[in-house]
Structure 1
Amino acid sequence: MFMGMRQTGEFELLSRIATNDGHGENCSYFDGWKAYDSDPFHPKHNPKGVIQMGLAENQLCFDLIEDWLKRNPEASICTREGISQFRDIGNFQDYHGLSSFRRAIARFMEKARGGRARFDPDRVVMSGGATGAQETMAFCLANPGEAFLIPTPYYPGFDRDFRWRTGVELLPFDCYSSNKFKITQSALESAYQEAVKNNVRVKGVLVANPSNPLGTTMDRETLRSLVSFVNDKNIHLVVDEIFSGTVFDSPDFVSVAEIVEDEPGRFNRDLIHVVYSLSKDLGLPGFRVGVIYSFNDAVVRCARRMSSFGLVSTQTQHLLAAMLGDEEFTSKYLAESRRRLSERRRTFEAGLREVGVRSLDSNAGLFCWMDLRHLLEAKTVEEELKLWRIIVHEVKLNISPGASFHCSESGWFRVCFANMDKETMDTALGRIRAFMARAERHRATNEKKKKWAAAAALRLSLPRNGRRYDDILISPHLAMSPHSPLVRAAT
């Protein structure tokens, strides 16, 4: 009976959320992860496996954290030195969080931003990672069907975090490589007016600073124009700053909190909100520590109530309060992390340049935005994905195609470089080197074939009256059209 009812649609066993594709797992971004999971690289046990370059993790400074833990065993309630606090910490349930934890987080946020912004511990709201923080912001600021503008390219997880369970929409507006993908006022205004024309209520703008996937930071003028825009429209600005401590080169990072503080009274502070976590700056995504920081009292109250659904364990809070409260450690950690990220970035980009591959100039993040547009036969998403499949399944590198980041220009790829040791990175660069050599051979072969095909066509179109036509056929001035070296490999 029930089977028949389900088949006719009269009875639905599961909810729309459970059965829809709002999570976004079925896309090329996650498909690359699946390819890695099914055939993971290991230098000894599986040296021909897929190398994971699609995961933005910071594994370059685990040794610094491990060393601190060895020197401070009392920070954990699961050690002989810290067991005396086990009962109090294990029983603590206040969703405000440990006051020592909120103070330490606020101080670390200031330090990660060069001390140029101030954060009130009483405005720090816990969340289960940045994913939970983004969703909570959406729940607090918008109703189902209402929308946030977002510049492209952007992190694919935003489609899941901000939209899936909340019903809030994201309206992308395009940015372009011609100005290094910077947000322009005209693009922002045009996207807003288009939404109004389509009777979509815009509740805010969502941006990431530093950008994921670009690895670039917003300059002060761009941030000020964003704050002015939302102020004029009376809508919200949510700024994801989870990579703020990874800025390893000039210009310095500018937080939206600085803009608000620089000109007190000019902007409506109730419209400004920051999302943060310890996943990138401290390299601890497994701790699931997300932070909502809002200048709006009502949002702080609401987000704190909602945090009951995704609290950070008190054991984790207790440990991090001690670690982040160690001023000497955090100062040295941030400085050394930036140094190592800068060195890794330079080494990786130098390896790419050796084989003629460029990437966007950047100064932050755990990845580079690699430009392979010259390898596409046509500047289309289909050609980009064709190239991506070759790189994942034949070259055995999981990189992320620009299309998965909603990039309007085909041929860009995000490549992560901080989630592996140097030996694995060298192996990855070796594979890229071999792939590009193969691509060059295909290009040369295809150009030769095209040259003789064009020559043959010209021969057929001309009168057969002697050697002067042969001279024409071998002329170096014939115009040839280079094609992708990857046509054969892709079919």
Structure 2
Amino acid sequence: MCKPTTQRQQQANPRMPARGVCLSSLATSKAHGEVSPYFDGWKEYDANPYHPTDNPSGIIQMGLAENQLSFDLLESWLLAHPKASICAEEGVSRFKEIALYQDYHGLPACRKAIAKFMEEVGGRKAMFEKDRIVLTAGATAAHEVLTFCLADPGEAFLVPTPYYPGFDRDLRWRTGVELIPVHCSSDNDFQITIPALEAAYQNARDRNIQVKGLLITNPSNPLGTTMDATALRKLLAFVSGKNIHLVCDEIYSGSVFSSPKFTSIAEILATDKTYQSERVHIIYSLSKDLGLPGFRVGVIYSYNDTVVTAARRMSSFSLVSPQTQHLLASMLSDMEFVRKYLAENSKRLQKRHEMFVSGLRLAGINCLNSNGALFCWVDLRHLLESHDQEGEIILWKIVLKEIGLNVSPGSSCHCSEFGWFRFCFANMTDQIVKESLDRIQLFMKSRRSNQLYDEGGAYQKKPLNADEASEEFNFTGRYSAIEVDNGSLRSMNVHSSGCLRLEEATRSEVPQQELKDGVY
């Protein structure tokens, strides 16, 4: 609590400095949701980012769900359509028109183009009305605006776990709304079950918290899996029975790369009129599917007229630049380009996913089977020294500071099973993916060579005897190395940053007199 200097204190002692001016409870609140390994890992990366030549021992960013695989397609379109930009010579004639005040609800041409794009992403199985689209500065703003519309402070949303760590900030901080986890299990690949929903709902009631809605991500973040029509109908039946809202985050819907295909909640509502569409709301964005997070384009699509009206009023605080809208209206109206882009982007995502997953398998690491989004849900439970949150955070710090990869631990996603991690794979080049896999594979090889771990790299608390130790070099100085078949040392160079860089060194290059007792 802020206690500024009082007037009486200042009169008694004019030289007494005034203590800090009081701030709002929101400004000083600890409920912003950014005290999390998810955000801490980003800070570590920012302080020591990997670069193949300038900083080869730096941290590789695998905590960022960003799609950089299809930028060439976007760039080619822009070069072929210079009139789409008011900053280009060919498009400058519309500069004044776009630079002046625009409709706060969004340019009609842009909303129409986004509606058609969403239809294309959904396989043209449902139609979207442009007048139900509310534009916001990214999906983060869309989520917050919608939360303000649906719930009051102290009320809650049910959210199946694991869920995107940013929801703790985006939905809770300024709205005062609570998030009630719906605990899902790896026993059924983390699918949402009605008993789990009922348990979470009852938990809220036992705490005298009113539940106002259920929030799902489809495709899932962080699982990378999709929900089929049967599962979606069960959720619609659940929210109808509880008289609550259903919010469907579909921001990865155009990033599904293998079977089963994506099914939008809009498709269910279009084919089955028995459900009350007024309680259903969709969040979309162009950050993931189109790879444009810097453009900050989010979408609220609601079937509820009152929500659309309220959201439009609130969107005045998070507008999308008219210049951005003008460009996107032109690009997304080119349906030939849109269809080619979505098809090619899907192929590239599938290829990258297969590359990354196969590399993990070579290292003895498995993932949850997934068919969409920009990441893998990686199972590292066998590497935990203790199967609790402390053990998971210890392993996360090893991955971050020793292997040099920023990934998201499952506990930051509120996963009830420790040892799962989200690895993003679409925000880097093939070369950086290979570097990441090299680091992982070397780490796993070193674990297997260390008798404290079994052949799968699992910790077994077994000390090395003298004979076993003689098979491994454990340098306590600059190097920690293991011997490979050809007599060379594949070493991990530990720099001051605590990160690793792979090097090759022949035995002759290491001073033999310094190898006594395995110390260099």
Pair in the same fold by TM > 0.5: yes
1:248-276 residue CA offsets vs partner (Å, 9 max, x unmatched): 00001011111111111x11111000000
Shift of 1:37: 0.3
Task: Give the match for residue 471 of structure 1.
Answer: none
Structure 1 residues 378 and 297 mapped into 2: Cα distance closer, same or farther (>3 Å)? same
Instruction: Select the residue among 38, 48, 57 that pairs with 1:48.
Output: 57
Letter in 2 for 1:407: C
Distance change in 2, residues 1:81/1:221 (3 Å) = same
Corresponding letter in the other structure for 1:319 = L
Question: How many angstroms apart in 2 are the aligned matches of 1:211 and 1:257?
Answer: 17
Conserved in 2, the CA contact under 8 Å of 1:5 and 1:11?
Answer: no
**Distance in 2 between the 1:379 and 1:269 partners?**
43
Is 2:176 the partner of 1:191? no
Unaligned runs of 5+ in 2: 10-18, 454-458, 466-497, 499-520
Alignment partner for residue 85 of structure 2, among 67, 76, 100?
A: 76
SS of residue in 2 equivalent to 1:317: helix
Q: 1:448 to 1:282 in 2, by over 3 A?
A: closer
Match for residue 309 of structure 1 among 317, 320, 338:
317
Question: In structure 2, do the counterparts of structure 1 residues 179 and 119 end up closer, same or farther at CA, with 3 Å as the change threshold?
Answer: same
SS for the counterpart of 1:21 is coil
TM-score (norm 1): 0.89
- Kindly indicate whether residue 335 of structure 2 is the aligned counterpart of residue 327 of structure 1: yes
Q: In the alignment, what sits opposite 1:100?
A: 109
Within 5 Å, give how 1:17-166 maps onto structure 2: 17-166=26-175
Q: Deviations over 1:286-315 (max 9, x none)?
A: 000000000000000000111100010110
1:223 to 1:308, Cα distance in 2 relative to 1, 3 A: same
Question: What is the CA deviation profile of residues 84-119 of structure 1, one whole-angstrom value per residue up to 9, with x for unaligned ones?
Answer: 111111114211211110110000011111112211
Aligned sequence identity (%): 58
Deviations for 1:109-138, whole angstroms, at most 9, x for unmatched residues?
Answer: 111111122111110100010000000010
Instruction: Give SS of 2:209's match.
Output: coil
- Structure 1, gaps ≥5 residues long: 453-488
- CA–CA distance in structure 2, aligned partners of residues 89 and 97 of structure 1: 12
Counterpart CA distance in 1 for 2:364 and 2:417 is: 19
Render the CA deviation track for 1:434-480: whole Å, top value 9, x for unaligned.
1101111224567694698xxxxxxxxxxxxxxxxxxxxxxxxxxxx
Deviation at 1:198, TM superposition (A): 1.8
For 2:352, the equivalent position in structure 1 comes to 344
| Corresponding residue of 2:456 | none
Distance 1:2 1:165, change over 3 A: closer
The within-5 A match list for 1:215-254 is: 215-254=224-263
AA partner of residue 93 (structure 1): Q
Amino acid at match of 2:363: V
In structure 1, the partner of 2:380 is 372
Report the residue type matching 2:37 in the other structure: S
1:388-424 superposed Cα distances (whole Å, 9 cap, x missing partner): 0011011111011000000000000000000000001
- Asked if the contact 1:56–1:366 (Cα under 8 Å) also holds between the matched residues in 2, the reply is yes
Going from structure 1 to structure 2, the CA distance change for 1:403 and 1:5 (only over 3 Å counts) comes to: farther
2:361 counterpart residue number: 353
1:469 is aligned to: none
Which residue of the other structure, out of 294, 302, 305, is the alignment partner of 1:297?
Answer: 305
Aligned mate of 1:398, from 384, 406, 409: 406
Whole-angstrom CA distance in 2 between matches of 1:105 and 1:147: 30
The verdict on how the C-alpha distance between 1:322 and 1:5 changes in structure 2, with shifts beyond 3 A counting, is: same
Letter in 2 for 1:283: G
RMSD (Å), alpha carbons: 2.1
- Report if the CA contact (8 A) 2:213-2:247 is conserved: yes
Quick one: distance in 2 between partners of 1:447 and 1:277? 46
2:449 paired residue among 437, 441, 444: 441
Report whether the alignment pairs 1:427 with 2:435. yes
Distance 1:443 1:129, change over 3 A: farther
Q: Show CA shifts across 1:24-77 (max 9, x none).
A: 222100111111000000001000000000000000000000010000000011
TM-score of the aligned structures, taking structure 2 as reference length: 0.84
Which has the higher mean CA deviation after the structures are superposed, 413-422 or 22-31? 22-31
Q: Alignment partner for residue 219 of structure 2, among 200, 210, 217?
A: 210
Equivalent residues in 2 for 1:412-491, closer than 5 Å: 412-443=420-451, 449=462
Change (3 A) 1:57 1:5: farther
Question: 1:2, CA displacement in angstroms?
Answer: 7.2
> Residue 318 of structure 1 aligns with which residue?
326
Write the deviation string for residues 152-205 of structure 1: whole angstroms up to 9, x where unpaired: 000011111111101111111200100000000011012112212221111010
> Which amino acid letter does the alignment assign opposite residue 218 of structure 1?
M
- Residue 383 of structure 2 aligns to which amino acid in structure 1? L
Equivalent residues of 2:4, 2:21 under 8 A apart: no
The structure with the largest helix share of the pair is 1
1:3: how far off?
A: 4.5
One-letter code aligned to 2:407: I
SS of the equivalent of 2:289 reads: coil
Alpha-carbon deviation of 1:5? 5.2
- Verify: 1:175 aligned to 2:180, yes or no: no
- Whichever residue aligns with residue 140 of structure 1, its letter is C
For residues 365 and 450 of structure 1, what CA distance do their matches in structure 2 show? 42
